[in-house]
Structure 1
């Protein structure tokens, strides 16, 4: 009996000791990621989390900026603005691609950089608004405004400071001005009228006449637009990649089924442009009046569909007629100023509105000139004197008449 009691006591002590030891090891295990953060934690390690080597390994430099003529905007499908172009040069120096995230204000840029959502703020931020962030790389001559990084002593800050030279801002601005000039387009300038007395606009008139019905436009209007785009040079090429008589972008060619190998073929280039114009016509089906719609389509061909829609939204907001070009033109120009391109209804930011407004004006003026010299195609009348669509049959008393 005594022996049984001692055995039970021994087992009790043994089990208690085991429970005590197990309790000592009962603290939850902390699982960490390979870069040192706790799994499930949103914290960012302090030791240069987004180092230069990380950026090069990932192959991408992420910058935050704001829309504006000096910072960032899209022009013919390409990024522009001095701050953007400088960021592009720095990314090229690192051998990585560039990704741009547009923010609505300085506070958003600062917050997102602090939260580790980007590598650089590529915008001239005043020191007073930099919070705990460090200024590095691009800055103004006073040193009071410049780009921001999260760690002033990190590899990225050192690389930026070693790369940037004060003269780079002026040189980049000079480069941008050249890209925006007509001198950046490689083309020969031909006469706007091949034979005025004979009513011949260009050597491509038959192609304009053949494919204008795709766009449901007068062929002379297509010719006027073509001269504005390329001065009738089939080999014209812009720095942005626009090609041929109608300056078709490669992405637009893909959209309308034109092989990139055929971008400089005059006939195929004109056909592709007419298909694209037809697509834009469809996107402006809410603009019921034909001449008004033509102006909106021309503006979109030059400045981009979404910018034109932004101007229409502004016109509506400020009590104007968003389907009337004269009203919308005012806001096309307005999108060059912060008051308008920072408006909440604007989705695509700054645009070079004066270029687009002048583009529409010049084509309309040249079309008026062509209309007085060259004959329209059968079935078309100019929009200066009536409908620009082919005559169509309408049903009346069970018979069809030409209207």
Structure 2
């Protein structure tokens, strides 16, 4: 199949032919090539992020088409794929030393590197050049910084403890108790995660579309069978999160139960495939891929080019420090909740394996 959804035998356009602007608009899709990285492209909670991607997304919006991303391993692959007609634009500032392509659109301040299109695609090149203004880069960086900050989340910040003396964590304790057994978690751990996600605000919403107490993404809701109309319903949101946690748990059956909760938390925040990449790096470097103390270091290292470009890494760059901080904060709050939540229990006498394990060795909080 070609990138445009037809077999080569059915396609009347040779593979090397460029799609002009009218072709792209009729097809309804702009295909960009790029590299994984913080300045180019990465997956962030189910959404594309990275300066070059965001700029290309703006261009796609301007011409009224959707954007498809194809991640390459290096600039040579990008150039060769562009020449073969597998994409419309290289949305990455490559050095102006490659022949057989046309440079256009976003460039660096020195104009020594720039985006590129196929050599014969003058129409697309002209459109990119007319669209791009140097001030767009600084403006987009500012917008990206906002999206990555807590300021982009609409929520009311509630206290992490409703009634410390009475051992009441939140208004939703009865729901945490009800659905924690579905996740096979201590209900206070579910409460600690909920506070990290939404500060107990059922109306919380992120710029990416995550909703409710447990910040469920619409696509995840679809996968779990939760109606999007009910994303802000406290009970249904918590129930869906517990179901999702149970599902993530099945992906880490190779991890000892005493450690598994931490891998699940990390996956809930940073994505299962990124955590598997970190585990692969840990194995490659002689560390224990089933110990969070070892794997967390490689989650952090996935923010560094030598690591996210390593051949064992399949899903590229991630903001690993956010995920590590997420896990650390929830662990610390969970410890606090276990220390003060009177009359706790899960409602079924359930104690997680990690809580049992904590009686045997000291956790590093």
* 2:79 alignment partner, one of 110, 113, 119: 110
Relative distance call for 1:56 and 1:335 in structure 2 (3 A) is same
The corresponding residue for 1:370 is 337
Q: Does 1:234 align with 2:202?
A: yes
* 2:42 alignment partner, one of 73, 92, 105: 73
* 2:53 alignment partner, one of 84, 94, 108: 84
Count of residue pairs the alignment pairs up: 346
The corresponding residue for 1:120 is 89
For residues 207-218 of structure 1, what are the structure 2 equivalents within 5 Å?
A: 207-218=175-186
Give the Å deviation of 1:250.
Answer: 1.2
Q: Does 1:320 align with 2:287?
A: yes
Q: TM-score, normalised by structure 2?
A: 0.91
The corresponding residue for 1:18 is none
Structure of higher CA gyration radius: 1
1:19-71 per-position Cα deviation (integer Å, ceiling 9, x unaligned) = xxxxxxxxxxxxxxxxxxxx9995745xxx32111111111111100100000
- 8 Å Cα contact 2:184-2:352 kept in structure 1: no
Q: Does 1:379 align with 2:349?
A: yes
Relative distance call for 1:285 and 1:239 in structure 2 (3 A) is same
SS at match of 2:180: helix
1:323-360 per-position Cα deviation (integer Å, ceiling 9, x unaligned) = 00010001000100110101111111000000000000
The corresponding residue for 1:101 is 70
The corresponding residue for 1:361 is 328
The corresponding residue for 1:300 is 267
Give the Å deviation of 1:385.
Answer: 5.1
* 1:257 alignment partner, one of 225, 238, 243: 225
The corresponding residue for 1:167 is 135
* Runs (5+) with no aligned partner, structure 2: 1-10, 359-365
Mapped to 2, the partners of 1:281 and 1:359 lie a distance apart of 18
1:189-247 per-position Cα deviation (integer Å, ceiling 9, x unaligned) = 00000000111000000000011000110000000000000000000001111100000
Q: CA RMSD in A?
A: 1.8
Q: Does 1:334 align with 2:301?
A: yes
1:256-315 per-position Cα deviation (integer Å, ceiling 9, x unaligned) = 221111110001111110011000111111102x23100000000000000000000110
- 8 Å Cα contact 1:333-1:354 kept in structure 2: yes
Relative distance call for 1:155 and 1:235 in structure 2 (3 A) is same
Mapped to 1, the partners of 2:297 and 2:264 lie a distance apart of 16
The corresponding residue for 1:60 is 29
Give the Å deviation of 1:380.
Answer: 3.0
SS at match of 2:356: coil
- 8 Å Cα contact 2:53-2:91 kept in structure 1: yes
- 8 Å Cα contact 1:135-1:152 kept in structure 2: no
* Runs (5+) with no aligned partner, structure 1: 1-38, 389-403
- 8 Å Cα contact 2:259-2:354 kept in structure 1: no
Of residues 215-224 and 252-261 in structure 1, the stretch that sits farther from structure 2 once superposed is 252-261
1:68-99 per-position Cα deviation (integer Å, ceiling 9, x unaligned) = 00000000000000000000000001001111
Relative distance call for 1:362 and 1:58 in structure 2 (3 A) is same
Give the Å deviation of 1:132.
Answer: 2.3
SS at match of 2:125: helix
- 8 Å Cα contact 2:213-2:232 kept in structure 1: yes
Mapped to 1, the partners of 2:120 and 2:198 lie a distance apart of 49
Mapped to 1, the partners of 2:116 and 2:327 lie a distance apart of 40
The corresponding residue for 1:34 is none
